Amino acid sequence: MQTTPTDTQTTQDVVDLLRAQHARIRDLFDEALHSDGQDRENSFKELVRLLAIHETAEEEIVHPTVRKIPGGDGIVEDRLTEERQAKERLSELEDMGTGDPRFLKALDALRLDVLTHARAEERYEFDRLREQFSPQQLKGFAAAVRAAEKTAPTHPHPGVESASKNMLAGPFAAVTDRVRDMIHKARGDS
């Protein structure tokens, strides 16, 4: 075994990388739930950033692939519904802020949604990628996602943060654009 499931730096294959991100997302939920003050704020920000990167990678790589298989459209529509709901909840949490008395309950509800969603992806979608792409292509996608993760902004622009009521239009969008560009390059799109 050259890699561990949570080792996102050295994982070579995009399926392994997405699984490792699921594990990291689960850990960040736990960290945010079981800390307070600045620690909670930091864990939550990292969680939002990782979710933005991860879901964009899935929208670009995983879902279009699964649509090609018989019955795939239904599977993808279910996942997209879950992702939309999670993004709405995430946006509400961002507006609330980590100090809000309702924050923990809302974060816990989002955690349940996201982990259920991740299990469904692992069960119904991820193996399809290995049927559709060569090991080389899967490595290329992993490299693109990792590169995007490295260069994506770590902190929302302060002006955007205070001015925006909806992070999906601000920092979240900046991260997703970056990930999209790098995946398009890996796929050979112009």
Footprint on this chain of Fe ion (rule: CB under 5 A): 58, 118, 121
Reading the block at residue 185, the tokens are 């390059």
Of 52 and 98, nearer to Fe ion (C-beta) is: 52
Least Å distance between CB 156 and Fe ion?
A: 21
Least Å distance between CB 19 and Fe ion?
A: 9
Least Å distance between CB 158 and Fe ion?
A: 29
Residue nearest to Fe ion (CB): 58
Of 60 and 94, nearer to Fe ion (C-beta) is: 60
DSSP code of 154?
S
Least Å distance between CB 38 and Fe ion?
A: 28
Dist. CA 158–CA 122, nearest whole Å: 36
Of 93 and 118, nearer to Fe ion (C-beta) is: 118
Residue 3: is it exposed, middle or buried by C-beta count within 10 angstroms (0-12/13-18/19+)? middle
Of 98 and 148, nearer to Fe ion (C-beta) is: 148
Residue 120: what are its φ and ψ, rounded to 5°? -65, -40
Question: 3-class SS at 110?
Answer: helix
